[in-house]
Amino acid sequence: MRIFNGNRLKDARIYNGLTVEQLADVVNVSKQTISLYENSKSVPSTETIFSFTKELKFPVAYFYQPDLSLSTGSTYFRSLLTTKKKYRNQQIVKMNHVAAIYSILQEFVEFPQLHLPKVSECEPSQAAKILREFWGLGDGPLVNLMHIAELNGLIITKFETDTDDIDAFSQLIRINNVDIYIISLSSNKNVAVRYQFDIAHEIGHILLHGWSEDEEDLSREEFRLREKEANEFASSLLLPPNTFCKEIEKDPLNLEFYVYLKKKWQVSIQAMLYRANSAGILTQEQFQNLMKKIQYRHWRTLEPLDNVLPVLSPSVFEQAVSLLLNQGGYTSSEFMKELENSGLAMDYREVEGLLNLEKGMLKPLDDDTENRITLKLR
């Protein structure tokens, strides 16, 4: 006999960014009733469950499955102090679903092993130097940090968020006592240099900071310190002192020179200005004057080349699913059924979105809903 799981309803609600009251309104019950359902103190009617499937975009089976059984560490958000908890919780639940899908996929596909140095006791700039050496990157520009990170066992995905306040976040999961780090990027701001810095920033958290405590428990001062360290790490990783800093010394007050360097180093102009300032190449007054020019030129939110530099996408999940569909003998429907049998019944469109797969990649062959005629009553 199937038993309704209230925790699954709560997850589905948070996944969709809804409050208890908002869900109650759309399914036409009281918020007290929703609370009873989520705490498994009452069982919804069949009609109400179908309303949940319609509004929350999860199949009926999802609400009868056990809780996701994953060992997770804390989740690092760059925008903890400015993003509402509602949105952070939404992304944590989505990340848990990504982690669950990964844990299923890794039973069939061999992912790259995690390859990271131990640098938690190092200063951020020293940690960045060690990582470049550990990964054999030299001192030149990192044109594609996303794929470099994936090759070294970091899992990266990209999906839309309901707020522009979230740039990126990362989470630790453990599968069979093996640490797996997942970095999620927001596709809302689809700019190549943003992704470069976001990934470098999250790698900084992964290498420098503990993952046992809840980020919510950190004081503002502790959080700001960790963000500062992650930013310093990212800046040092992307813009090494032996090469970038020597190059910028040639013409540090010329913004057009920064535009040229942006194309070469794949880092934003503003991040390069901060790097030049922290390295002592720019005085504080020179830095502030250049930032005023940035403001005057309306470059704060949209810099030159932001719409030109190619935006890369994560490839690990795309490759894993393609392997199963093309060489593993699975159809898209069979793959979705495998997820359901493993405890994660989902709509194929949601899985495509979470894993940043090509739209329609998991569409069942018999799903022709987009081409069906919708009749209306006279």
* pLDDT tens, position by position, 28-61: 999 999 999 999 999 999 999 999 999 999 999 9
User: pLDDT over 90 for what percent of the chain?
Assistant: 76
Closest alpha carbon to 185 in 194, 177, 176: 194
Residues 175 and 273 in one domain: yes
Domain boundary among 241, 261, 296: 296
Angle (CA) 188 192 198, round 5°: 75
Q: Please give the pLDDT value at position 161.
A: 80
Between 168 and 60, residue with greater pLDDT? 60
Q: Lowest-confidence range among 77-81, 111-115, 162-166, 235-239? A: 77-81
pLDDT of residue 301 exceeding 70, the answer is: yes
**Res. 26 pLDDT band, cuts 50 70 90:** very high
Q: Please give the pLDDT value at position 292.
A: 98
Between 209 and 79, residue with greater pLDDT? 209
pLDDT of residue 335 exceeding 80, the answer is: yes
Domain boundary among 276, 296, 316: 296
Q: Round to whole Å and give the CA distance between 191 and 168.
A: 13
Q: Round to whole Å and give the CA distance between 65 and 67.
A: 7
Q: Round to whole Å and give the CA distance between 35 and 70.
A: 24
Q: For tokens 């690092």, what's the residue? A: 76
Q: Round to whole Å and give the CA distance between 91 and 212.
A: 19
How many domains does the chain divide into? 2
Residues 40 and 84 in one domain: no
Q: Please give the pLDDT value at position 369.
A: 52
Q: For tokens 């495509």, what's the residue? A: 352
- pLDDT, averaged across the chain: 91
Domain enclosing residue 38, as ranges = 6-64
Residue positions counted in the chain: 378
Domain membership of residue 140 (yes or no) is yes
Q: Please give the pLDDT value at position 165.
A: 77
Residues 127 and 11 in one domain: no
pLDDT tens digits for range 101-157: 999 999 999 999 999 999 988 999 999 999 999 999 999 999 999 999 999 999 999
Q: Round to whole Å and give the CA distance between 97 and 375.
A: 36
Q: Round to whole Å and give the CA distance between 247 and 130.
A: 21
Domain membership of residue 320 (yes or no) is no
Mean pLDDT on 293-312: 96
Is residue 239 within 8 A of residue 141, CB to CB? The reply is: no
Q: Please give the pLDDT value at position 74.
A: 66
Q: Lowest-confidence range among 32-41, 70-79, 226-235? A: 70-79
Q: Please give the pLDDT value at position 78.
A: 60
Residues 206 and 94 in one domain: yes
Closest alpha carbon to 346 in 110, 141, 58, 56: 58
**Res. 368 pLDDT band, cuts 50 70 90:** very low
Contacts of 136 (CB under 8 A, 6+ apart): none
Distances (CA, A) of 153 to 21, 147, 309: 41, 10, 26
pLDDT of residue 345 exceeding 90, the answer is: yes
pLDDT of residue 370 exceeding 60, the answer is: no
Q: Round to whole Å and give the CA distance between 324 and 345.
A: 18
Residue 112 corresponds to which tokens in the numbers above?
């790259």
Question: Which of 156-165, 168-177, 325-334: highest mean pLDDT?
Answer: 325-334
**Rounded to an integer, what is the distance from CA 295 to the centroid of its chain?**
29
Domain boundary among 15, 48, 64: 64
Q: Please give the pLDDT value at position 29.
A: 95
Q: Please give the pLDDT value at position 159.
A: 83
pLDDT tens digits for range 255-289: 999 999 999 999 999 999 999 999 999 999 999 99
For residue 77, report the phi and psi dihedrals to the nearest 5 degrees: -110, 135
Residues 46 and 104 in one domain: no
pLDDT of residue 339 exceeding 90, the answer is: yes
- Gap between the terminal Cα atoms of the chain: 43
Strand order of the β-sheet with 71-77 is 71-77, 168-175, 178-186, 155-159
Residues 255 and 146 in one domain: yes
Please report the beta strands in the chain, taking only residues with DSSP state E, as ranges in sequence order.
Answer: 71-77, 155-159, 168-175, 178-186
Q: Please give the pLDDT value at position 210.
A: 77
Residues 60 and 79 in one domain: no
pLDDT of residue 233 exceeding 60, the answer is: yes
Residues 52 and 130 in one domain: no
Domain membership of residue 1 (yes or no) is no
Domain membership of residue 273 (yes or no) is yes
Q: Please give the pLDDT value at position 173.
A: 86
Residues 163 and 256 in one domain: yes
User: pTM here?
Assistant: 0.90
- Helix axis angle, 255-265 relative to 269-278, nearest 10°? 100
Closest alpha carbon to 137 in 231, 227, 208, 243: 243
pLDDT of residue 221 exceeding 70, the answer is: yes
Burial class (CB in 10 A: 0-12, 13-18, 19+), 330: middle
**Burial readout 292-305 (b: 16 or more C-beta within 10 A, e: otherwise):** eebeeeebeeebbb
Residues 288 and 236 in one domain: yes
Q: Round to whole Å and give the CA distance between 232 and 277.
A: 12
Q: Please give the pLDDT value at position 377.
A: 55
